[in-house]
Each structure stands twice: as structure tokens, then as C-alpha cells.
Structure 1
Amino acid sequence: MVRIEEGFLNIHGLRIYFKLYNVGSRIDLVVLHGGPGASHDYLIPLAELSNYGINVLFYDQFGSGRSDEPSDFSRYTVDYGIEEAEEIRKQVFNDKVVMLGHSYGGMLALAYALKYQDNLVGLIISNGLSSIPLTVQEMRRLIEELPERYRNAIKKYEQIQDYQNPEYLEAVQYFYKQHVTRLDELPEPVKVSFEYAQKRRTYAIMNGPNEFTITGTIKDFDITDQLHKIRVPTLIITGKYDEVTPRIAELMSSKIRDSRLVLFEKSSHMPMWEEKDKYLAVVRDFIFELYNKNK
């Protein structure tokens, strides 16, 4: 039986929202959302893993979703996110866990593993990245493949930093439709997460005005040359049309010795919605394999 627990944890003086799908097993999954600034809601399909005996913990990171935001600007870093994740792991499970990070959360999970991999059973990097500069470079390549109208609008208004111009915003949305989620209608949980990202200041502080214009505190973050230090089994997930392109996933997989790469042929950045059943099966089977190996 699944017991849903939710509320706030005191993490380094901030109220951090969490939601735990607790089945009382010894298989624990901690989920790190993207953004930053968004909420965990769009990753809610992963809650279904609790039906298979996996405890699933979601939380809204600092300055994201329903959680408090730091008043100290110096906290808006990946390093702070690492320590937040570790404190949450200790407070909720105090045991080794599987960590799944999506998008920016995947980068955060990789950084966490470099410092705290002894606390991990395994790692799942879903549509994630290890280098912001490389990811921007790849997204710029995707922009060059857009129809001329949208490509020119992006270049024109970025030159004058008019990120709110209707023509620019239309081009951004077209890019998102190709490379973030290709669904005809956004599911409500995805809308909720996007709304949080727009109204919380964390996305602008850490990321920037949009997915491919990264001007915030993470703009130079790159840990690719350290990935060889990760020893835990790692599953890397990417979508054929992903804004964080398969090239990035392939590079990460080549650096992490005990890793496997799964490409979702019909997905962009959100295979947990675009190919939900396959996504959940891939994640579930990987987690079961980890725990069976560690029996």
C-alpha cells in the first residue's frame, strides 16, 4: 500500500517542500527536477514506480516550486543544490538511494555523485547534461535547423536583448514544441511546473531568459572532464529530438565507465510523458537490477 506523505523539511534554514510516495520498502528513489525554479510536478509519472515497491521522493529545490528561496544571492549555485540534496537524503532515508535527475536536475545529480557517490546505489540521468557551454552550443545548432522565420527572429531580438518581443516569444515556443515536448497538449502537471519557473526568480538568476539563452550563475558550469570518477552504475536517457541532444548523452556515457544509454525515438525532452510506458519500464527495470545486484 502506498502512503503519500508531504510537507516541508527544514534544510539549511529554508522550508523545502517534499512529497514522498512511501511503500515501506528498502528501495529508495530521490528525484531531482529541472529548471531551476520549476517544481517537481512535471515528473509525477515517476510516482507510479511506487506501485512496484519503490519509495519515490520528490522535492522542490530551493527557490523553486513551493519552497523558500534564499535571500543570499551566493546560494544560487549547483554546489548549494548538492548540499541541499544530501541533507534531504539524510533526513528522509538516511540510507543509500538511487538518484534520478532530469534536465538541470541531471546535471545536479552528476555533481552530487562526484561528491557523495558512496551514498548512491545508482544514478539515472534523464535528458541531463554535464556541460552548460556544450549544451548551449548544441541548442544553437538546433536553432540553425529551424524554419528561417523563427531562426531569424531569435537572432534579431537576441542582438538587442528584447526577450519579451512577441515575435521572439513565438520563435521560442516553436523551438520548445520541437525540442522540449512534442505533445499536442501540455499535461496539467507540466503546465504547473512551467508556471512556477516563470514566476520564481530562480530560473532567471541561475539559467536566464529561456532554455537556449543561458546567462545566469550556471552558464559556465562544466564537469565533463570529471565524469570518469563516477563509479556507480548509471543509466543515461535521451530523446531523439531532445534540446539536450543525443550527442551530449553519448559524450556522458563515454566518460562514465559503468553506464548505459537509452534513446527514446519518439521523444524530445520529456519522454516521461511522450513515451511514458516505455520510460517507466526502463527506469523500473534499471532500479530492480541495481537492488538485485546488491542483495
Structure 2
Amino acid sequence: MNETEGSVPVGKYSIYYRLFSEPGKRVPEKGTVVCLHGGPGATHDYLLPMSDLVSCGYDVLLYDQLGCGRSSLPRNVALFTIENNVEELEVLRRKLRLGRIHLMGSSYGGLLALAYALRYQRNLRSIITEGGLASVPLASREMQRLKMQLPDAVIRTMEKYEEAGDYSNAEYLKAVEVFYRRHVCRLSVWPPELVYSMEHISSSVYNTMNGPNEFTIIGNIRYWDISDRLGEICVPTLVTGGKYDEVTPVVARQIHRGVEDSKLLIFNESSHLPMWEERERFFEKVSDFLNSL
């Protein structure tokens, strides 16, 4: 497998990318799968398993969104919006001459994939969401429901520090980790790529767009809801999620109901990251979907 890295200018900033491809093939046999990381504010690294699709005849492109990872880190937080993320993706697609792409989005990246489709679906061959969402209010309500199922002592600790606005207290972070271990990744040992992405999340992007943690969404995406426009999306779509996902199957089913040409797949041993938690089965199902197109 070949790997190429580089950066693409987007306005006065640059977007870092990594392209994985088959040796000796200048044009991918089946097109390029562009992968959108979550957070918002994470890095592309936890999506590295997606490069497995190269063996099926696809190029795979991973990149860091503006303000994240190895891309430019502007001080102006007003730049961190869904709309700007959509446009930077389109610039990246054009400048790298990718043609019509398969678009995969994880978590916030799933939201971004759907938002891109509403504006540029003529440039898409397919969409895959993993723990994605079309309605932040619905996803937020579902996360609060999961939070209230935690042990009483954990809930009390969370509420104590949330009422004080102290989201960085060590006791609070320990309580939050209980939620993450149940509903973000259930593996006993987290993969180093995931740990890296979590440790290098951009606090500027995350706090501006999301908020202090996964289930306290008070940033500029908090009212985002395109559920009433999902019927406009006409490209083949695979909606995936985990049984224990923080972005619950209720949210996944909303996307599936809204996008007419969609398939729904819930991984029963996974939470938010079936690409890691059930890696072999995840890639079997994703490759089956792509190869059916």
C-alpha cells in the first residue's frame, strides 16, 4: 500500500491530508473514499483502519479539518463552523481532482457528510456514516438519557461539577471517563491511534463547536438539525452505529428513515467506534456495501 501526505491551500490556510492507494495504480479502480473525522476538533488518526479499503480497490483519503491536527490552527474561532467545513471539503476534492467520491463520516464527521450531501451531492457516489447524526438536539437528548443510566455516584459527581461549571476537575473527568468507556469505545485497551486523536483534540474547535464534553453540547452546533431535509439526499447511503453508541440507534434510525436509498446496520458489540470494536465485521459490511454499488 502506498501512502502520500501533503497539504492543500484553502483560502489563506492549509489542510493536511494522507492518501492511501494501491501500488502501481495512478487511478483508483473504484474511486476514492474520503473520511471525515469527528470531534469536532479531533484528528484523522483514529480513522486509519479505513485504509483497509485499499485492498478492495479504493483509494482512501484522510485529512485534518481546519484547526485540527496538522492543518492550520487559526486564532479566529468564528471560522469553526459546519458551513466552513463543508466548503473546505469541496475545495480539497476539487484541488486533489478526486472526481465523484465515496464519503465516510464518523460521529461529527457523519453530520458533516450529510451537510455536504445537501449542497454537493452531485459529487458523491455514496455516503457511509458511523455514529453520525442529522439532529444535534435529538443526539443530545439521547446522550442525556444514557448519562442518567450511569451509577448514582457517577451522576452525582457529574452534576456537582457541572453546576459549578468546573469541567476540568479531576473527579469530574474521571466520572466522564465512565461514560466514555461505556458509550465511546468499549475495548479494554484503547488503540494508540484513538488515544492520539483524543489527546490531540483541538480544545479551541471542540469548545467552540461542541462544548466541554460529549454530552454537554452548548457550542455553535447545538441547534443544528437537518432531519427534515434528509429526503433530499438521493445517493446510496449506509448508516452504521453501535448498540451502545453515545449517538444512539434512535439517532441512526432517524437518518435511515429520512434517506430513502439507505441501509441501516447496528453493531451489537460496539459503542461509538465499530471500526475498532468490531473491525473485521465492520469492514466486511462496508466493503460489501461499496462493492454493491
TM over 0.5: yes
Rounded Cα–Cα distance in structure 2 between residues aligned with 1:166 and 1:19: 35
Of the structure 1 ranges 252-261 and 23-32, higher mean CA displacement relative to structure 2 is found in 23-32
Is the 8 Å Cα contact of residues 63 and 200 (structure 1) preserved in structure 2? no
Aligned residues: 288
Deviations 1:76-111 (A, max 9, x none): 110000001111111223410100000000000000
Normalising by structure 1, we get a TM-score of: 0.95
- Runs of 4+ more than 2 Å apart: 69-74
Rounded Cα–Cα distance in structure 2 between residues aligned with 1:196 and 1:10: 22
Is the 8 Å Cα contact of residues 77 and 205 (structure 2) preserved in structure 1? no
Deviation at 1:74, TM superposition (A): 2.5
Is the 8 Å Cα contact of residues 65 and 200 (structure 1) preserved in structure 2? no
| Residue 293 (structure 1) aligns with | none
| Residue 133 (structure 1) aligns with | 137
What amino acid does structure 2 have at the position aligned with 1:131?
A: S
| Residue 256 (structure 2) aligns with | 253
**What secondary structure, in the 3-state scheme, does the structure 1 residue paired with 2:200 have?**
helix
Listed as ranges, the matches of 1:205-244 within 5 Å are: 205-244=208-247
What amino acid does structure 2 have at the position aligned with 1:168?
A: Y
Rounded Cα–Cα distance in structure 1 between residues aligned with 2:66 and 2:82: 11
1:277 aligned to 277, 280, 284, which one? 280
Deviations 1:146-187 (A, max 9, x none): 110111111221111111222211110000000000011111
Is the 8 Å Cα contact of residues 46 and 193 (structure 2) preserved in structure 1? yes
| Residue 3 (structure 2) aligns with | 4
- Ranges in structure 2 where 5+ consecutive residues have no aligned partner: none
Rounded Cα–Cα distance in structure 2 between residues aligned with 1:19 and 1:263: 29
**Superposition RMSD in Å:** 1.1
Rounded Cα–Cα distance in structure 1 between residues aligned with 2:247 and 2:267: 13
| Residue 41 (structure 1) aligns with | 45
| Residue 181 (structure 1) aligns with | 185
Rounded Cα–Cα distance in structure 2 between residues aligned with 1:58 and 1:169: 29
Rounded Cα–Cα distance in structure 1 between residues aligned with 2:195 and 2:97: 30
What amino acid does structure 1 have at the position aligned with 2:9?
A: N
| Residue 267 (structure 1) aligns with | 270
1:203 aligned to 195, 202, 206, which one? 206
- Ranges in structure 1 where 5+ consecutive residues have no aligned partner: 291-295
Rounded Cα–Cα distance in structure 1 between residues aligned with 2:72 and 2:277: 31
Deviation at 1:200, TM superposition (A): 4.3
Q: Is 1:89 equivalent to 2:93 in the alignment?
A: yes
What amino acid does structure 2 have at the position aligned with 1:164?
A: S
| Residue 155 (structure 2) aligns with | 151
Rounded Cα–Cα distance in structure 1 between residues aligned with 2:282 and 2:10: 31
Of the structure 1 ranges 246-255 and 162-171, higher mean CA displacement relative to structure 2 is found in 162-171
Rounded Cα–Cα distance in structure 2 between residues aligned with 1:281 and 1:245: 22
Rounded Cα–Cα distance in structure 1 between residues aligned with 2:118 and 2:74: 24
Is the 8 Å Cα contact of residues 28 and 93 (structure 1) preserved in structure 2? no
Normalising by structure 2, we get a TM-score of: 0.96
| Residue 105 (structure 1) aligns with | 109
